[in-house]
């Protein structure tokens, strides 16, 4: 598994992979990897939203 520091930090840092040289199996594997990453990001968004809502409730009292 890659280190978190190896991941792109900003949207403009992401460069799509050249798909021309990939086989069908490699393309399927790439979809699996991207799908897993999307799920990881969605979970992080949920987590950060929860933290933000908790902080807002503390400071609005």
1-10 pLDDT, tens per residue?
556 566 656 6
pTM of the model: 0.66
**How confident is the prediction along the chain (61 residues), in pLDDT tens digits per residue?**
556 566 656 666 778 899 999 999 999 999 999 999 999 999 999 999 999 999 999 888 6
Burial 45-61 (b: 16+ CB within 10 A, else e): eeeeeeeeeeeeeeeee
Nearest to 40, CA basis, from 29, 48, 50, 51: 48
DSSP class of residue 11? G
Average pLDDT value over all residues in the chain: 87
Report residue 18 as tokens: 């050249």
């Amino acid at each position: 598994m890659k280190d978190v520091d190896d991941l792109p930090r900003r949207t403009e840092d992401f460069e799509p992979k050249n798909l021309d040289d990939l086989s069908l199996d490699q393309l399927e594997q790439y979809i699996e990897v991207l799908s897993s990453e999307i799920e990881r990001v969605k979970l992080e968004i949920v987590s950060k939203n929860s933290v933000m809502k908790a902080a807002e409730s503390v400071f609005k009292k």
